[in-house]
Amino acid sequence: MSEPVLSIENLSVSFSSRRGVARVVDGVDWEVHPGQTLAVVGESGSGKSMTVLAATGLSPRGAKVGGTVRLRGEDLGAMSEVERRRARGRHVGFVYQDPMTSLNPVMPVGRQVTEASEEHLGLRGDDARSRAVELLDMVGIPSPEQRVDNYPHQFSGGMRQRVVIAMALANDPELLIADEATTALDVTTQAQILELVESLQERLGTAVVWITHDLGVVAGIADQVAVMYGGRILEHGTVDHIFGSPGHPYTQALLAARPQPGVRADRLATIPGAPPVPHQLPPGCAFYPRCPVRGDERCRTEEPPLTEIAPGHRVRTFYRAPHSGIERPAS
């Protein structure tokens, strides 16, 4: 198999505060190959964003990051600051989670879209401008020739999200990291964007890391899925593994909580309880307090290892639940 575009090994991110050390990402590893899509799913606060931010050297101030990250086979940790910066700007496109705050309010969007191309590809003046127009057009912004000179506040939330996507695609990146990239968009636009990304993958062999809450999107675009909870990977495998034979009670619960055609929203199963607070993780399995299976004492006191149960399918649990672990409320 080809070399992965991005591989992370044993990545951890922690913050120290008066309340103690919060390990918000703990021992995460996965890789993405050219042309492939890895979906990262999990509830809010599970560490999805922090994983990719830390991997690309964009973690917030005060974060302690550990582990090894390789971009195009090269160890980012062994690079100089300048090399790391160049590699990131040239080869990685990042769609940030919050399009309302990720754009500079006092710079026209066109300039922001092609700024990375100016820096790394030497694009200038009219060339940069027409490239910006082209990119805005590509993500479906109407009359891009005029919009290119507008400022972010002149765009709606959905339009800003497209601007951020255009910005991420500016350098034909080898790696595209999309953090909730289509959450603010309507279904039609979402489909357009997904198509755009797929064509990019075909054309350039771009590897994609797609972070989302939406398991419906995952089934459509992903090759692999990593399920995160409390900063850890609970399950990791191909789409077939995750959707066909989910091994972790949490994955099963997520699948059961997925909106489905024909089922009214109020009839959907939800996962009772709330995700753990990072500086107060339970000693055993992070999911134990909410787990419907609760095998035995071991689950409460000992953290299960991430074990391979089939080639390429890893699960972090002592007890694999029977397949319909979560009941739907009777209709």
Partner 1 sequence: MTRFVLTRLAQSAVVLLGVTLVVFLLLQLVPGDPVRVALGTRFDQETYDALRERAGLNRPLPIQYLDYVGSALVGDLGVSFRSGEPVTQIVIERLPATAALALFAVVFALLVAFPLGLISAVKNGSPVDHATRVFSQFGVSVPDFWMGIMGIIVFAGMLGWLPPSGYTSFGEDPWEWFLHLLMPSVTVGLVTAAILTRFIRSSVLEAMSQDYVRTAEGKGLMPRRVVTRHVLRNALIPVVTVAAVQLASLLGGVIVIEVLFAWPGLGRLTYDAVQARDYPVLQGAVLLVAALFLLVNLLVDVLYAKLDPRISVT
Ligand X SMILES: Nc1ncnc2c1ncn2[C@@H]1O[C@H](COP(=O)(O)OP(=O)(O)OP(=O)(O)O)[C@@H](O)[C@H]1O
Inter-axis angle of helices 157-169 and 109-121, nearest 10: 10
Half-sphere exposure of 183 (CA within 13 A, CB side): 16
Pairing of strands 313-315, 307-310: antiparallel
Residue in this structure with the two tokens 């850890």, named with its chain if needed: 232
Residue 29 tokens read as 């590893």
Report the residue number, 18 or 61, with the smaller CB distance to Mg ion. 61
- Please calculate the CA angle 248-249-253 and round it to the nearest 5 degrees: 120
Find the shortest distance in angstroms from Cβ 255 to ligand X. Answer: 18
Find the shortest distance in angstroms from Cβ 278 to partner 1. Answer: 20
Judged by DSSP in three states, 159 sits in helix
Residue type, 297: E
105 binds, among ligand X, partner 1, Mg ion, none (CB under 5 to 8 A by kind): partner 1
Find the shortest distance in angstroms from Cβ 275 to Mg ion. Answer: 13
* Window of 19-27, 90-98, 144-152, 156-164 that interacts with Mg ion by CB under 5 A: 90-98
Find the shortest distance in angstroms from Cβ 325 to ligand X. Answer: 23
153 binds, among ligand X, partner 1, Mg ion, none (CB under 5 to 8 A by kind): partner 1
Report the residue number, 7 or 49, with the smaller CB distance to ligand X. 49
Report the residue number, 44 or 188, with the smaller CB distance to partner 1. 44
Find the shortest distance in angstroms from Cβ 238 to partner 1. Answer: 29
The residue from 7, 49, 183, 252 that contacts Mg ion (CB under 5 A) is 49
Residue 219 tokens read as 């089934």
Question: What does the DSSP assignment read for 186-197?
Answer: -HHHHHHHHHHH
Is residue 26 within 8 A of residue 84, CB to CB? The reply is: no
Question: What does the DSSP assignment read for 51-62?
Answer: HHHHHTT-PPTT
* Window of 83-91, 208-216, 247-255, 294-302 that interacts with partner 1 by CB under 8 A: 83-91
* Helix residue spans in the chain (DSSP H): 48-55, 81-91, 109-121, 125-138, 144-147, 157-169, 187-204, 215-221, 239-244, 249-256, 297-301
Asked if residue 102 binds Mg ion (CB under 5 A), the reply is no
d(CA 321, CA 301): 19
42 binds, among ligand X, Mg ion, partner 1, none (CB under 5 to 8 A by kind): ligand X
50 binds, among partner 1, ligand X, Mg ion, none (CB under 5 to 8 A by kind): ligand X
Half-sphere exposure of 11 (CA within 13 A, CB side): 30
Question: What does the DSSP assignment read for 88-150?
Answer: HHHHEEEE-S-TTTSS-TTS-HHHHHHHHHHHHH---HHHHHHHHHHHHHHTT-SSHHHHTT-
Per-residue binder mask for partner 1 (CB under 8 A), 31-60, x = binder: ----------------------x--x-x--
* Window of 97-105, 145-153, 232-240, 313-321 that interacts with Mg ion by CB under 5 A: 97-105
Residues near ligand X (CB under 6 A)? 15, 22, 24, 42, 44-50, 60, 97, 278
Per-residue binder mask for partner 1 (CB under 8 A), 92-131, x = binder: x-x-x-x--xxxxxxx----x--xx--xx-----------
Contacts with partner 1 by CB under 8 A lie at: 53, 56, 58, 61, 85-90, 92, 94, 96, 98, 101-107, 112, 115-116, 119-120, 151, 153, 164, 167
Contacts with Mg ion by CB under 5 A lie at: 49, 97
